[in-house]
């Protein structure tokens, strides 16, 4: 496959970009949000951009560092960071061509401290309105909710947002009331292993997770107690550490599960991957996530997931293909039993493994870097008064267009930086973001394409980008209706 236009990432060459994130990749409590931005920033640096990362300072961390070509500036703790970052932006804000403002509940409010014309794109993993109450006393939790919702919506206005999942985009609309453009930029994942090794002979569940309250592993242990009654030789590996470890170990002991459940604690990647690759299934009982990073990593090893149907997780699991989504916690144990029986069948397991690996292969960090670069480039154009092609549709719509590749095909002057193009031999597919079918027809006319297959992109299409599934003999191509006129005619 090939892309006929320059990657948005390449367009950042020579730009000086600022990343605001409350942690960096080497922070003692670094997690998936830091991995997300680090992997993207590394690719921007390789493409020729300069990246400065302003963040909090963890214990034993130096005030300045260079990590994979990224200049890291650290100051302040979890809350003190924000005042330090504001002062730093006031003193240094004129240096930057664009800003990625990573929210973790409490925003940096960067538009208040940067020159008015500075392009700012928020990155939001998930909405924290419910989580404030689990971490702070009621008065402080109320302040957190007010800052994340009412104040942030006014300060950031109509600036672009990158959400890591469709669920996060929905929460930004429904709960925080954002009305500006929101683009879905999902996480990438690990490189797909060349092959999948043999599984454990006994039915095995392996869960890789931080042991913190909102992951709700206590709920999982309660359901495991149901499963072992039907599958007494069940093995459960819990890989990871956190504040809940001692309590979870006690729950497992009280339920009589210590012969079935092993708490491995934090493990190096090789050990973690070894345990994961031998599992039959993984599981998630999290209350909500921005994206299921550990689920997609398990999929890369061919391991499906049983999960509650909650925001973020429901985007990461293709129900019935790469796992099983459960609506009610009380049904979780029964679904685990079903999943273990299904994966116990050799032919069924082979089919599920293939589906999981195919799904995981679609999420690459190169694509994530290009998507976020596209959002930033469009924001740069908007601040300079450059008008991208008009689209009347609500920004949450996306149209998928497939057509026979014409000679000398060049879409570079007719698309937004946030659109995706893939050409596979005689077929081309484009994912047009912020576009319905009618607007897509206009885009095609401006490109000189008069017959194509146009449809609104489904959930999987938006998450994974365009596919070049062949259009059958041209018979499915839709001619532009008579009387339709675009600005190009």
- Note the pLDDT of residue 483: 33
Establish whether domains 8-184 and 204-361 are of one fold: yes
* Residue 455: strand pairing partners: 400
The ranges assigned to domains in the chain are 8-184, 204-361, 390-479
* C-alpha dihedral, 110 to 114 to 118 to 122, nearest 10°: 0
Question: With contact defined as beta carbons under 8 Å apart, do 480 and 444 qualify?
Answer: yes
- Note the pLDDT of residue 394: 62
Question: With contact defined as beta carbons under 8 Å apart, do 107 and 79 qualify?
Answer: no
- Note the pLDDT of residue 6: 78
Residues of the chain with pLDDT under 50: 1-3, 470-489
Sequence-ordered list of residues with C-beta below 8 angstroms from that of 125, at least 6 positions apart, any chain: 32, 33, 36, 103, 104, 164, 168, 290, 291
- Note the pLDDT of residue 384: 81
Question: With contact defined as beta carbons under 8 Å apart, do 336 and 222 qualify?
Answer: no
- Note the pLDDT of residue 471: 41
Tell me which architecture the domain covering 8-184 has in CATH: 3-Layer(aba) Sandwich (3.40)
Overall CATH class of domain 204-361: alpha beta
- Note the pLDDT of residue 387: 63
pTM of the complete model: 0.89
Q: Report the 10 Å Cβ neighbour count for 173.
A: 15
Question: With contact defined as beta carbons under 8 Å apart, do 457 and 436 qualify?
Answer: no
């Amino acid at each position: 496959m090939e892309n006929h236009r320059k990657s948005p990432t390449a367009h950042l060459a020579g730009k000086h970009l600022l990343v605001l994130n409350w942690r960096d990749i080497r922070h003692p409590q670094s997690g998936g949000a830091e991995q997300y931005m680090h992997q993207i920033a590394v690719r921007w640096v390789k493409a020729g951009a300069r990246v400065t990362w302003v963040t909090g300072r963890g214990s034993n961390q130096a005030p300045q560092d260079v990590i994979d070509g990224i200049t890291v500036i650290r100051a302040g703790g979890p809350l003190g960071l924000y005042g330090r970052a504001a002062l730093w932006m006031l003193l240094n804000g004129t240096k930057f061509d664009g800003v990625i403002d990573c929210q973790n509940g409490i925003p940096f409010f960067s538009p208040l401290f940067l020159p008015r014309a500075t392009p700012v794109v928020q990155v939001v993993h998930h909405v924290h309105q419910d989580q404030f109450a689990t971490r702070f006393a009621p008065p402080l939790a109320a302040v957190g909710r007010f800052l994340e919702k009412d104040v942030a919506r006014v300060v950031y206005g109509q600036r672009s947002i990158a959400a890591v999942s469709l669920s996060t985009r929905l929460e930004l609309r429904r709960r925080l009331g954002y009305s500006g453009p929101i683009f879905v930029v999902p996480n990438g994942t690990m490189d797909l292993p060349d092959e999948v090794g043999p599984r454990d002979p006994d039915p095995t569940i392996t869960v890789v997770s931080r042991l913190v309250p909102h992951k709700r592993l206590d709920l999982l242990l309660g359901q495991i107690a149901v499963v072992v009654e039907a599958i007494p030789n069940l093995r459960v590996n819990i890989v990871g550490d956190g504040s809940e470890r001692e309590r979870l170990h006690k729950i497992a002991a009280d339920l009589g599960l210590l012969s079935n459940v092993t708490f491995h604690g934090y493990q190096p990647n090789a050990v973690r991957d070894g345990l994961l690759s031998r599992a039959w299934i993984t599981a998630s009982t999290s209350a909500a996530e921005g994206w299921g990073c550990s689920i997609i990593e398990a999929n890369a090893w061919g391991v499906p997931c049983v999960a509650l149907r909650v925001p973020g997780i429901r985007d990461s699991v293709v129900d019935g293909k790469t796992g099983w989504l459960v609506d009610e916690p009380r049904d979780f144990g029964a679904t685990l039993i079903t999943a273990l029986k299904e994966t116990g069948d050799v032919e069924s397991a082979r089919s599920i493994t293939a589906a999981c690996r195919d799904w995981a292969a679609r999420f690459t960090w190169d694509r994530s870097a290009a998507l976020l670069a596209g959002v930033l480039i469009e924001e740069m154009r908007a601040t300079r008064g450059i008008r991208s092609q008009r689209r009347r549709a609500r920004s949450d719509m996306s149209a998928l267009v497939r057509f026979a590749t014409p000679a000398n095909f060049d879409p570079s002057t007719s698309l937004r930086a946030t659109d995706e193009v893939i050409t596979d031999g005689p077929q081309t597919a484009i994912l047009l973001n912020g576009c319905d079918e009618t607007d897509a027809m206009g885009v095609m006319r401006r490109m000189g394409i008069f017959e194509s297959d146009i449809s609104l992109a489904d959930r999987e299409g938006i998450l994974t980008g365009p596919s070049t599934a062949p259009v059958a003999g041209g018979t499915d191509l839709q001619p532009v209706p008579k009387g339709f006129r675009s600005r190009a005619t």
